[in-house]
Structure formats: structure tokens, C-alpha cells
Structure 1
Amino acid sequence: MIKNYIKIAWRNLKRNKAYAAISVIGLALGIACGILIFTLITYHLSFDTFHNNSDRIYRLYTEWHDDGVGRSHGVPQPLGKTFRNDFTLAEKTARVINFRNNLITITKGNEVKKFKEEDGVAFTEPQYFDILNFPLLKGDKKTVLVQPGEAIITEKIARKYFGSDNVIGKVIRLDNKVSFTITGILKDLPANTDRKQEIYVSYGNMDEYTDKGREQNWGGVYSGSEAFTRLKPTVTLAQANNAMAQIVKKHYTGRDLKVWVFKLQPLNDIHFNADLDGYADKKYLWALFFIGIFLIITACVNFVNLATAQALNRSKEVGIRKVLGSLPYQLFWQFIAETALITIVAVIVAVGLSYLALPAINHLFQSQMEFNKMELSIFTIIICIAVIFLSGSYPGLVLARFQPILALKSKLSQKHIGGFSLRRILVVTQFSISQILIIGTIIIISQLHYSQTADLGFNKDAVVLLPIPQNDKVKLNTMRNRLNAIQGVEKVSYCYRPPASQSNNSTGVNFDNRAEEEHWGINTKTADENYIATFGLKLVAGRNFFPADSTKEFLVNETFVKKLNMKPQDVIGKTLSIDGKSITAPIVGVVKDFYNYSFHTEISPICIMPDYRNYSTCAIKINMRNAKASLASFEKIWNETFPEELYSYQFLDDSIKKFYEMDNILLTLIEAFAGIAIVIGCLGLYGLVSFMAVRKTKEIGVRKVLGANIQHVLWLFGKEFTKLLLVAFVIAAPLAWWAMTNYLQDFKYRIPIGPGIFLMSIISTFIIAFITVGYRSVIAALANPVKSLRSE
């Protein structure tokens, strides 16, 4: 019986190749999207789940309860040690201090190799590898990183530096400051971990590498300073957080007792917590999940529309089968067999499309996702079964209940093959989804365009950023003079970072010798006197500070003045103290507000002051007509100034684009899914117009005999689809407005959602629908009425 079902199903599909092809394409696109979204979601949900006892592993983090609540995944450097020594709540606690963009130098005889490590180096306490499961392939786990001067690296780094993993005893030098001997090799880190550092060095060398005072500094937080702990099985999160509160009482006084709060973050929350720099917000994963469900449903809707459009053509076949004794359930399973055949082919095509698309998805996310064959098999089987019954049940029931006498006499009408209302509802559903995605795409594009073209308060064009690896006053003065002599160079400034940067320093602020600090922090920017001219900052009061090697004068921004409820001219000459009053100087000027972060974050109070010891960037404003020659000259001068370092440069506008990497990824995904939803929706429209063309064959013939022209006939189809698309828009518009309003809440500075966006959406939908139905409608309108009426 089953063999007979499949044989007949195959013959019917061969006879109706266009119907079969459209059905397969629609289902394959929807299922392929489902497979890719399923893979993406499971990949992100798997992050750092492979560690032993991961449910008891936590990262310590900082909150500041002052002018609002601020959070950082970094903690004061002594916190982890204090938690370990003062309490017995944890089995293991370890500190790890991460630095990025480090220079690694390897010397072999007269040959010197230099490597720039973007993911950087981590100064690590040995207990770290007892807490997190990163297997050591070579070396003694009990002794690695216990003594100063030791390093462990991954297999990948060993091959990159030395060509093999036989590297125990080799020496690497970090930033031309500290040398380390390799004492262990780690297994390559899995793709699904947020721990990206592949070079770990002894924590005992921290004082040698950076400021010695950090080990006792409870007042500053560096975002790369982290602490991990694995609690004992009987210890609760509430107990551990209570211990954190006791640490605050012990090490802070006065108002800081209320400002500083330390808490524990579960390991499985690290990847998703946007407030603590998590990579993937779960709300976007949920959005992708529902998009995948909707795309699969719309693909099933197409199949239903196309199948019911074919029902009248198969009425005589069904009538003959019933006369010869076929029972309704046999006819139902016959159609289910056809659906199964189409679905299986569609699943095979979808899996192939998924394998072709996965490299592009990996490139987009900078990830290393792979298909888990077991999970993929289970998922495709479930999808296959679900699609077969979702798509096949309704058309199968319609065919199974045909009256054989009416079928054989060709007297079946609309009421016999199922209500047209269901198909209308399905098409409205499809285009509601499509229009939601179209509106979302338009809004995201508009917001990103606004973010990247709005006035940032500074000039970001034609500014080249060079790193400063050493703060040698003589070298810096010499390099500045040589750079200024290059044709095409307009301005040169030394600074810590440009006005908008992902790396910012914040500290407490005391204004005009008041009794206590303000209830908000200030963003500090060290820069020389050319900073304003190089970046085109505008003074609204006072003057620029005079050239100096250390902080003798301050510039502040308008937000700083607003926080004090004063006017710009009123703060000129007043004293400003930062860093616990370790730096005190008068305010000599107020600059117009500029964005110091992305548009996701509001503008901070800012102070700018000179201090050559903290300069890490050389910003050069150039004339782009001489860009090629200028860049070549920069490289030559920089290499002669810092011969032991590795040269690199970046344009400022490129660094600003990195603020919106995740938004651009989201935009690309929404564009792709919107495009696929439109294609599937168009296939659904084609199914509906095919159904209408069959149903209205005689009506069109009569109208043409009575003198109707092609325009009148086309309007028969057009008015139907116009109603459906308008209903879809009425449903989609408020849903899209709600979803995109929530999306824009992540931006402190955002576009308004105006009527123009919705107008663009409905116009584009009508154009797409007109192109889709036009071809089939014209064929129906041009049909010979004699042939149409002869079918009676």
C-alpha cells in the first residue's frame, strides 16, 4: 500500500512539475532558515557549558550605586585574593588580568620575530585552570604558573610561533618588558567559550609589567581585571553575595560604603548579559527563534495554497478513486504521501543550502559554528514530520471529502473544496510577517545611517591612529616634528584615545574643593594641546590649555557643566580634582559636547588634560589626496622611532564602525530573512492567484464575451490582493512599531519612527505583490474565452 502511495505520488508530481518545484523551493527555503537559526541558537546556548561543575562557577563583578547604577565585569585587583583568604565559601578562587593587542617577541640567534596578539595575554593565578576546564597537554598542572616568569600557550599559538608544539623551555617576551619561559601547552580552546586569550603568564609578574600600586588599589576598576570562583556544593549564591557586602564594609568608608557593591555572576550568564559586556543578548536569540518558526509556517502556508489550487484539477481523479472503492482515509494518506515526498526532497535541498550558507554565517559572526550531525538529524526529522502534517493535513482532508458524482460531472464549486477565507488568512499571515521584517530592516538601516553620519561633535574623517608603545618624551617630540614635516599632514596630536573610543577611563570627581565628591563619575581623556584642533572640537567658553607634560589645567565638556547646574563661563577658573584628589588643577575651558561612546550610551561628563605618561595613541589629520604617500611615510618614521615594535595603523572612522558590529550583524540577518520571507510570500501569492485563476475561468470567459477588457479582468485579481495586503499591513504596522521601539531603546540617541517608514514598507510590498501576481493574472486575462466556456 505504501509503495503504491509513493508511486502514484511520484507520477502526480512529474505531471505537475511547476507545482512540485514551487512547493519544494518554498519549503526548502523555510526549512533551511530553520536549520541555520537552530544551529545559531544551540551554538550560543552551549557557551562555556563544558566546564566541570559549571553550575557552581561564578565571576565576580562590580556595581556602583550612585547617580544611577553602573556595572562592570571588572573588579578591583585585590578583591579575588580577599574573597579567597577571608572566607571559606569557595573550593577555588583565581584572578586573571587580561590585556589586549600585545606585542610578543621571539629571538632566535640574530632573528627576531614579532607577533601582534589582538586577544592579548592574561596574567593568571594557577587555580584558574582548576576552576575552568582547559586541558593541559604538556607540562605539570600542579606547578604551571606558580613561579614568576612562566607561560603556557595553546597548541595553535605554539605552531604559529615555533612551527610545532615541542616548545617547552622556549622564551617569549611580552611588550619588550618581561620575558617568560613556556612550561606548558594547552589544548586549543573550543569555539564555544568567551575566554579568548591563548597566552597565559604568571600572575607574579604583574608588578613588573604594570603599576605596583594596583595590588592594593580598591578605588579603581580595570575592565580586564577579573576573578573567578567555584563555590562549595553547600554554599548558596546569597551567602556569597553577603560575603561581598562584608568586604565592602572592611575596605571602604564614608559614602563609598553605599556606592560600591560586589556580586557574583553565574558562568552561564556571562555570554548573554549585555550589562556586563555579554556577546549575545537573549532577546535577539528569541527574536531569531520566532523568525525561524514563522518562516517554516509561511512555507507550509504556500504548500496549502498551492495544493488547494490544484484540488479542482484533481477532482475527477478523486471521483474515480471513490467510485472504485477508495475510502476517505486512503485518499487522505495518498495526499500525505505526496506531501511527504515533496517534504523529504525539500529537506534534502534545505540541508544542502544550510551547508552552503554556514561559512557565510560564520564569517558574519566571526565564529566557528559546525553542524552537530546528531542534533541536526533529530531536528530535521522533527521538522520533516511537522511540515508533512502541517502542510498535508488540510489539503488531504479537502480531497478526501469530495463527492464523487459532483467531481465526475465537474460540478464542484468553492464550497466543496474548502473556504477561500482560510487561504486569505494564510496569505495575510505571510505578508504580515514579511512587512514586519521589511519595516524592521528599514528602521535598523535608518538608525545605523544616523549613527554613522550624524554630527558626533568631532571630526572623524581622514584621521589616522598610530599606537605609541613607549612614553619617551624625546622620542615623542622627535616623531611629532618629523610627522608634521610630511606633505599632506595637517595636524598631529598625542592622546590616550580619540574622543569616541571603546576604551575609556572613569573616576570620581571633586569640584571647587567641595566637602565631598560629586555623585557621578567623570570620563578622563589625557591629550596634548593639539587635541582640539586635530579632532575639530569646539570651545564654548574659556580657552585651550597651554602645552605641558603633566596636568596643570583642565578642559571639561557641557555635560559636566549641566551636571553641576551651572553655566559654562561660571566654571572657568574653578578647581577640579580627580583620582581621589591626586590630580588637582583649574578649569580653563569648556568644549561643546561630543559623543565619547556609541549612540547606545549617553554622553558622559568629560575632562581633558595633558599627561605624556598616559599617551598611547598618535592621531594624525591628513589630506586624503596624499594618503598613500603619507601612510608610507608614517610607517617609515614609526619603525625608525620604535624599531623593536610592530607597526600598525587604523583610520578613526573604521574604529567607530566597530561600535555597531552587532547592529550590522543583526541588520544582515534581518535583510536575509526578510528577503526569504518575501520570496516565500510571493510563492504563496502565486498559489493564491493560481487558485483564483482556476476558480474564475468561466467568469473571466463570460466577462470577456460580454465586452470586458484586460484591465477589468486584471482588477478582478488586483482588488482581492489589495484588500489582503492592506489587512496584512494593518496587522504588521503596530507589531513592527512595538518590536522596533524596543530595539531602539538600546540607543540613547535614536531616530523617530515616522509615517514615512511605514509608507515605504507598504509601497515596496505592493510593488513586490504586483510583480508576483501580474504574470499569472495576465495569462488568465488573455485566455481565449471560447476555450474557457467550452470546459462546461
Structure 2
Amino acid sequence: MIRNYFKIAFRNLVRNKTYTAINVSGLALGMTCGILIFMLVKYHLSFDTFHTNSDRIYRFVTEQHRETISYRANVPSPLGKVFRNDYTFGEKVARIATAEDVVLTVKEGSEIRKFKESEGVAFTEPEFFDIFNYPLLKGDRETALLDPNTAILTEKMARKLFGAADPMNKLFRLDNKVDFRVTGVLKDLPITTDRKSEIYVSYNTLKQYNDWLASDDAWGGINSAMQCFVRLRPGVSPDEVEKFLPAYVKKYRPTNKNVHHYKLQPLADIHFNARYGGVITKTNLWVLGCIGLFLIITACVNFINLATAQALKRSKEVGVRKVLGSFRGQLFWQFISETGLITTVAVGLACIASALLLPFINDWFKVQIAVNPLADWQFMLFLPLLTLVVTFFAGSYPGLILADFQPVMALKGKLSQQNIGGFNTRRTLIVGQFAISQVLIMGMIVITNQMRFSTQSDLGFNKDAVVMLPVATESNVLTMKTLKSQFSQIPGVQTVSVCQSAPASNYNVWNTSPNYDNRAEDEAFSVSVKAADEQYIPMFGLKIVAGRNLFPSDTAKEFIVNEMFARKLGLKASDEVIGKALSLNDGNTKGTIVGVIADFHDRSFHEDINAICITTAPDLYASYALKINSATVQPTLAALEKTWSDRHPDQVYDYQFLDEHIANFYATEDLMLKLIQTFAAIAIFIGCLGLYGLVSFMAAQKTKEIGIRKVLGSSMGQILWIFAKEFSRLILIAFVVAAPVAYYAMNAWLKNFIFRVDLGVGIFISAIVGTFLIAFITVGFQSIKAALMNPVKALRSE
């Protein structure tokens, strides 16, 4: 019997090739999205779940209470040490300081090899490997990082640095400053961990690399490199620990207005908490999951629409089967068999499509999803479950309708619209589909406009044709001046400045509380300090509104502030600050304000303009900023590389255009735009399949009506209007539903931007016009085909 079901099902599907192709493509598309989203959600939920006692592992974080509350995934360097010594809450406590974008040098005989490591080197206390489950393949876990100048490498990094040779006791040099000896080899890190550094060196060597960061008295600042982890003892709660942490603020920062609140963040929260640099929020994962479910459901809905439209053609077949003795259950399972065949083929195509699309998903989301079905029991369970659910969800309703046909009415062709499900259910589902499509279209337009506004607006400084080069680690004042002079002599280089960072940057950011005009207390706001030479302001085109530019100096301190600085002081005029004393960094940096510049955007459009202070500080300079001629970019870049490499032959050359760096501010929004474009296209396509099903159903129902109208003189336009008014009504209803939803959602999204576009009427007009055009193209062929039908054949049809 079962064999007979599938044999007949196969014949029916082959006979109705268009119907089969549409259903297979719709289901395959929906299930491809479902499979990819399932793998993506599963990938993120598996992060750092493999550690022993992961429920007791926490990271110390900081809430900074200034004008507003800001959140840092870092703490002062001494916190981990004093917590370990003062309290017994922690079973293990480990500090880890990561130096990113470092240069590693390996010397073997006369050969010298250099490597640029963006993930950097982690100065690590030995207890780190007691807290986290990163297996050591060579070396002793207890002693590998105990001595100074020792290092542990992953297998991958050991091969990169030393090839096939045994890495144990081999030497490498970090940033031409510190030498390390390899004392251990780690098993390669799992892809589902937020720890990316593959080089771990002894923490007690940090003082040789960064004396301030290693200081046990460095409570006055928080560096993004420093993190601290703890595994609490059994029975100890994080709330219990947090009650004792304010004591450190009172003891070590008693006079500071910007009170620090130290908290414990669970390991399971690190990957998902955007406040502390989490990769993706659980809310976004839920949204992705719901989108995947919606796309599968809408694909099933389209199947139902097409199947019920097809039911009229099969009414006599069902009538004959019933007359010959077929039972209701047999007819139901016959249709389920057809659905099962379609679903199985669709799942196979979806698996192939998912495998082909996975590299693009990995690239888009910056993930490393690898599918091994034989080793992934969750995926192997998901796939047959998806097949069964789709088969019964999509096939049950049409199967029941076919099985309920009355044989006499079916054989006489007297079945009514109510006998095959009617329009109302399909209309409702299609309205829902197009409402979602229009929400996505409106969202896509808003995000596109905001991205264009963010990247093309005037930022208050010149960002075009500006190249940022690194200052080598061993550079001094003389070296920087010499190289700056050599750069300026290169044809195509217009201006050169040595600085800490560009006007808008997330790197090398130094925030501190200012003391203005020798007041008794520091100001309540923070100021973003930018170290730069006297060429910084003219090179970036910053506008001086009062006072003058900095004088060239390596020692004397002068400050230039922005207008926001004066406003936060409550002054009526910006020039009131000229000549006033300014003290930064707890009084360690003092000088006089000599100028005021116009405000510029120093961060992304997500944030308001900060109070800015620019001063000379050669020990903080990290970049050369060069304005170059856009007509001679390539030869200029080649000359810059040669000049830089000749001066620093033992360093790795690198450069970045400033506009590319600024574009990175909106990496998340760019990804969201790509996603919404993709899902909007898929949702529109699936919605169009549903609309096609409705039009097919209408054409089958109205065959005789169309024939009569044509005989009575109706024009082709009047016939087409029969179909057009139906889908026009549905699209308008969908728009009425979608517009307020899109407005609310996009207005909430835009609130993440301090500087943003307006939600104008044009966005909604564009969405409705675009939807009408897409719908017209979808129904046009079927409608025209029905309108051109020979009226004689139409009137003879049964």
C-alpha cells in the first residue's frame, strides 16, 4: 500500500511539473533559511559551554558612573591581586592582559622572520588554565607560565612560527622589546570560544612590556587590555561577592567623582552582552530564529495555497477513487505521500544550498561554522524532524480537503468554493506575508538611509585620502621627526602629522576627568584626550574658532579644547577658556588652554560629541597621519612603504585609510542591512508564490465567468481588473498593518543613534509602490493568460 502511495504520488508530481517545481523551490528556499539560521543560532549558543564548572566562572567588569553610566569589560590592574589576597570567595583568580596587533620576530641562524598578529599576545597568570579548559599537550600546566619570559603557544601558532620543528624551548621576540621561551603547547582553541589569542606569556613579564599596566598601584585608570576572571567556590553567589567590591572604590579612589562599580559577569553572559562587547545578543538570536520559523511557515502556506488551487483539477480523480472504494484515510495518506516526496526533495536541495551558502554566511557573520552531520547529533535530529513537521503541516489541510470531497459532486464538477477551503484563509495568510515583506522593505530603506547619512555626512574634519601608518615600537622623538620629514618629501604627500589616533577613532582612546582653572575638585564630566603634534589640526581641517594652534614642542604643555568642552563648563562663550590652566590624569599632565576648535564627531553617530582636548605628548604617539593626493594613490603608497620599511626593517609594515576605519564603526549596521536585504528578498519571493497560488485559484474558479464576460464584450483590461483589484486590496490591507509596525520598530532602532535621519512619508510610499510593482509582475502572467483564454473553451470547461 505504501509503495503504491509513493508510485502514484510520483506520477502526479511528474505530470504537474509547474506545480511541483514551484512547491519544491518555495519549500527548499524556506528550509534553506531555516537550516542556516538553525546552524547559526546553535553555533552562538555553544560558546564557552565546554569549560568545567562554567556556571561558577565570572569576569570582573566595571560600571563607570559619570554624566551617564558606561560599561567596561575591564578593571584596574591591581583588582585581581588584591581580591585574591583579601577574600576567599574565589577558588581561582587570574588576570590576563592582551596586547593586540603585535609583531613577533623569530630568528634561526641568519634567517629572521616577522609576523603581524592582530589577535595579539596575552600576558596570563598561571591560574587562567585552571579556570578554563584549554588542554596543554606539551609542558607542565602548573609551571609553564610561572617563570618570567615564558610562553605557551597553540599547535597552530607553533607551526606558524617554527614550522614542523619541536617548538619547546624555542625563542621569539615581542615587538622588539621582550624575548620569550616556549614552555608549553596548547591544543588548538575551539572555534566556539571568545578567547582568540593563540599566544600566552607569563604575566610577571608584563612589567617589561608595559610598566604602567603591570603596576600594583594603577587604580587611576582602566585599560581595555586588562581583564580578570574568577571561579567562585561552591556555594558562593555573585551577589555575595559584589557586596564587598565597593570597599575597593572607597579605599583606592576616595576623591574621584567618577565612581567605579565593580561587578561579576557570568561566563555564559559574555558572548551575548552588548554592553561589555558581546558578539551578538540573545534577543537577536531569538529574532533570527523567529525569522527562520516564519520563512518555513510561509513556504508551507504557499504549498497549501497551490495545493488547494490544484484540488479542482483532481476532483474527478478523487471522485473515481471513492466510487471504487477508497477510504477517506487512504486519500489523506495518498496526499501526505505526495507532500512527503516534495518535502524530501526540498530538504535535499536545501542541504545542498546550505552547504554552498555556508562560506558566505561565515564571511558575513565573521563566524566559523563547520557542519559534520555524522558528528553533530543535534543537526541529524533537526533535519528529519524538520522534514516530518513540514510534511504534515503543509500536507494535512489540503489532504483533508481532498479526502472530504463528495464523490457525486466531484464527478459532476459541482464542487463549490466552500468545498475547497474558500478564499478567506488564503487571503489572511497572504496579507500576513505581504505585511512582513513590507515591514522588511521599510526597514531596509531606513537602514540604508541611516548608513548613507552616517558615512557621507560632514564629520567636522577631513577624512578623505588620509592614510594612517603605525609608529614603530622602538621609535623616539628623533626617529619620528626624521621619518615625518622623509614622508613629507615624497611626491603625492601633502601634509604629515604624528598623533595618537585620528579625530574619530575607537583605538588609543584616553578619557580622564579634567581639572579646570585650578578648581578644588575635578569636573563631573570626562574629556577625551588626543595626543598630536602641531600639524594635526591643519592636516585634518579642524577649524580654530578662538585662540591659536599648538606651538611645536616636546615638553611644554599647551591644550586645545573643543566647543563642547566650554559648554560642559557652563561658559557663555568658548573664548573664555583661553589662557586658563588645565590639569589632566590626576594632576600628572598640566598646561594652559591656548585655542578652541569647532566640534567634530569623534565617535560614531551612535554617540554624542565628547569634550575634546588636544595636546602634544610624543610618548603617546602611535600613528602617522598623511594627507595624500588622490590622483597618485598607488605610487605614493609604494613610496611610503619603502620609506617606512627602510627605517624599520625589523617591523611589519601596515596601513589603513581613515574612511575605511570610520566605516568599521557601522559594521553591525552593515551586517544588519545585508541580512534585512536578504530576508526581505526571500520574504517577497515566498509572498509572491502565495500570490501566484491565489491567482491560480481565482483563474480556475472564474473560468466560466471570464468566458461569459468576454462574450458579452468585456475588454482585456476589464478582465485583468478582476485579478488586480483582489491583490490590490490585499496589499493595501497588508500596508495598513505593516506601516505602524515598521514605524515603531524603525523609530526604536533609530534611537540608538544620537544623529539620525527622519522617518519621512517617502519611506512608506516607496515600500507600497515597490510592493505593487512586484505583485503586478507576479500575477501578470497568470492574469493575462486567463484574460486571453478562448471564451468558447472557457464556457465548455467543466
TM bucket (normalised to shorter chain) is over 0.9
| Structure 2: distance between partners of 1:255 and 1:475 | 38
User: Helix, strand or coil for the counterpart of 1:243?
Assistant: coil
Match of 1:665 in 2: 671
Who is 1:440 aligned against? 443
Task: Tell me the alpha carbon deviations over residues 313-335 of structure 1, each in whole angstroms, 9 at most, x when there is no partner.
Answer: 01111111222222222222221
Q: Report the counterpart of residue 505 of structure 2 in structure 1.
A: 501
> Residue 397 of structure 1 corresponds to which residue in structure 2?
400
Q: Is the 8 A contact 2:249 2:259 kept in 1?
A: no
Q: Give SS of 2:502's match.
A: coil
Structure 1 runs of 4+ with >4 Å offset: none
Secondary structure in 2 aligned to 1:215?
coil
CA gap of 1:428–1:316, structure 2 versus 1, over 3 A, is: same
Q: Give the Cα–Cα distance (whole angstroms) in 1 for the partners of residues 706 and 173 of structure 2.
A: 84
State the secondary structure of the residue aligned to 1:427: helix
Q: Deviations over 1:541-566 (max 9, x none)?
A: 22111111135211111221121121
Question: Structure 1: where are the runs of 5+ without partners?
Answer: none
In structure 1, C-alpha distance between the alignment counterparts of 2:54 and 2:151, rounded to whole Å: 26
Percent of residue pairs bearing the same amino acid type: 54
Counterpart of 1:520, as a letter, is F
Task: Return the letter of the residue paired with 2:369.
Answer: M
The aligned runs of 1:288-327 (5 Å cut-off) are 288-327=288-327
Whether the 8 Å CA contact 1:165–1:185 is kept in 2: the answer is no
Counterpart in 2 of 1:487? 491
* Structure 2 Cα separation of the partners of residues 657 and 120 of structure 1: 23
Instruction: Check the 8 A contact 1:87/1:243 in 2, yes or no.
Output: no
d(CA) in 2 for partners of 1:623 and 1:215?
48
Q: What does the per-residue CA deviation read over 1:597-656, in whole Å, with 9 as the maximum and x for residues that have no partner?
A: 112222211100011111010000011112112111111111122222111111111111
SS in 2 for 1:216: coil
In 2 relative to 1, CA 289–270 (structure 1 residues): closer, same or farther, beyond 3 Å? same
Distance in 1 between residues matched to 2:442 and 2:220, nearest whole Å: 47
In structure 1, the residue corresponding to 2:96 is in which secondary structure?
strand
Shift of 1:214: 3.1
What is the alpha-carbon distance in structure 2 between the residues aligned to residue 274 and residue 520 of structure 1?
24
- What displacement does 1:744 show? 2.0
The answer as to 2:531 corresponding to 1:526 is yes
More displaced 10-residue stretch of structure 1: 164-173 or 303-312: 164-173
Cα separation, 2, equivalents of 1:602 and 1:551: 31
Whichever residue aligns with residue 531 of structure 2, its letter is T
For 2:286 and 2:735, the matched residues in 1 are separated by 23
State the Cα distance separating 1:165 from its structure 2 match. Answer: 5.9
CA contact (8 A) 1:471 1:614 kept: no
Give the aligned residue type for 2:792: V
Task: Determine the C-alpha separation between the residues in 2 that align with 1:601 and 1:155.
Answer: 41
Which residue in the other structure is 2:475 paired with?
471
For the residue of structure 2 that corresponds to 1:157, the secondary structure is: helix
Structure 1 CA distance for aligned equivalents of residues 483 and 650 of structure 2: 16
Show the counterpart of 2:79. 79
Structure 2 match to 1:407: 410
Matching of residue 591 in structure 1 with residue 600 in structure 2 = no
1:124 to partner: Cα distance? 0.6
Are residues 473 and 758 of structure 1, via their aligned partners in 2, closer, same or farther at CA, if it must alter by over 3 Å? same
- SS for the counterpart of 1:147 is coil
Query: Which of residues 420, 428, 431 is equivalent to 2:431?
Result: 428
CA distance in structure 1 between the aligned counterparts of 2:406 and 2:479, rounded to whole angstroms: 95
Secondary structure of 1:51's partner? coil
Partner of 1:545: 550
Instruction: Give the total of aligned pairs.
Output: 791
- Structure 1 residue 345: deviation in Å? 1.1
Post-superposition Cα deviations, 1:331-380, rounded to whole Å, max 9, x if no partner, equal 22221121111111111111111111111111112221122522222112
Q: Which amino acid aligns with 1:6?
A: F
Match of 1:379 in 2: 382
Q: 1:28 matched to which residue of 2?
A: 28
The residue number in structure 2 matching 1:245 is 246
Q: Say if 1:551 and 1:611, in contact at 8 Å, map to a contact too.
A: no
- Superposed displacement of residue 437, structure 1: 1.4
User: What letter is aligned with 1:695?
Assistant: Q
Task: Report matched runs for 1:63-78 at 5 Å.
Answer: 63-78=63-78
In the alignment, which of 511, 514, 523 is matched to residue 516 of structure 2? 511
Matched, 1:767 2:768: no
Match of 1:709 in 2: 715
One-letter amino acid of the counterpart of residue 324, structure 1: L
Farther off after superposition, 758-767 or 244-253: 244-253
SS class of match (1:206):
helix
Q: Distance in 1 between matches of 2:514 and 2:164?
A: 52
Structure 1 residue matching 2:243: 3-state secondary structure? helix
Do 2:66 and 2:526's aligned partners in 1 also have CA atoms closer than 8 Å?
Answer: no
1:572 positional shift: 1.4
Shift of 1:686: 1.1
Deviates more, 1:505-514 or 1:27-36: 505-514
In structure 1, the residue matched to 2:107 is: 107
2:191–2:368 CA contact under 8 A, matched in 1: yes
Return the offset for 1:243: 2.3
CA–CA separation in structure 2 for the residues paired with 1:334 and 1:629: 72
Supply the distance in 2 between the matched residues of 1:727 and 1:517 (Cα, whole angstroms): 59
SS of equivalent residue, structure 2 residue 514? strand
- How far, CA to CA, are the matches of 1:669 and 1:137 in structure 2? 41
Assess if the C-alpha contact under 8 Å between 1:155 and 1:165 holds in 2. no
**Counterpart contact for 1:551–1:609, Cα < 8 Å:** no
**Greater alpha carbon shift after TM alignment, 658-667 vs 699-708:** 658-667
| Match of residue 214 from structure 1 | 215
Three-state SS of the structure 2 residue aligned to 1:122 is strand
Mean CA deviation greater in 525-534 or 476-485:
476-485
Q: Which residue of 2 aligns with 1:233?
A: 234
- Letter of the aligned partner of 2:481 in structure 1? N
Q: Answer yes or no: is the 8 Å Cα contact 1:471–1:613 preserved in 2.
A: no
Q: Is 1:151–1:180's contact at 8 Å kept on the other side of the alignment?
A: yes
CA distance in 2, matches of 1:389, 1:270: 40
Aligned-residue Cα RMSD (Å) equals: 1.3
What is the identity, as a one-letter code, of the residue corresponding to 2:503? P
Give the letter for the 2:491 counterpart.
Q
Find the residue that maps to 2:216 and give its secondary structure. helix
Structure 1 residue 745 displacement after superposition = 2.4
**Distance in 2 between the 1:287 and 1:441 partners?**
16
Please list every run of 5 or more consecutive structure 2 residues that lacks an aligned counterpart in the other structure: none
- The amino acid of 1:582's aligned partner reads N
List per-residue Cα deviations over 1:191-212 (Å, max 9, x = no partner): 1111111111111111111124
Distance 1:289 1:745 in 2: 24
Match of 1:778 among 766, 777, 784: 784
2: CA distance between counterparts of 1:582 and 1:642?
32
Q: Distance in 1 between matches of 2:734 and 2:194?
A: 42
Which amino acid in the other structure matches residue 641 of structure 2? Answer: E
Quote the Cα distance in structure 2 between the aligned partners of 1:437 and 1:518. 46
Question: Which position in structure 2 is the counterpart of 1:133?
Answer: 133
Q: Normalising to structure 1: TM-score of the pair?
A: 0.98
Please state how far the C-alpha of 1:21 moved relative to its aligned partner.
0.8
Counterpart for residue 260 of structure 1? 260
Residue deviations 1:655-681 (CA, integer Å, cap 9, x gap): 111111122122112111111111111
Please give the alpha-carbon distance, in whole angstroms, between the structure 2 residues aligned to 1:594 and 1:331: 72
Partner-residue secondary structure (3-state), 2:244: helix
User: Secondary structure of the residue that 2:152 maps to in structure 1?
Assistant: strand
Q: Is 220-229 or 653-662 further displaced after alignment?
A: 653-662
CA distance in 1, matches of 2:548, 2:96: 43
For 2:673, give the aligned amino acid. Answer: L
State yes or no: 1:692 paired with 2:698. Answer: yes
1:636 maps to which residue? 642
Q: Give 1:701 shift.
A: 0.4
Deviations 1:171-203 (A, max 9, x none): 000000000000000111111111111111111
**TM-score computed with the length of structure 2 as normaliser:** 0.98
Distance 2:555 2:614 in 1: 12
Give the Å deviation of 1:255. Answer: 4.5
Mapped to 1, the partners of 2:154 and 2:33 lie a distance apart of 35
Partner of 1:723: 729
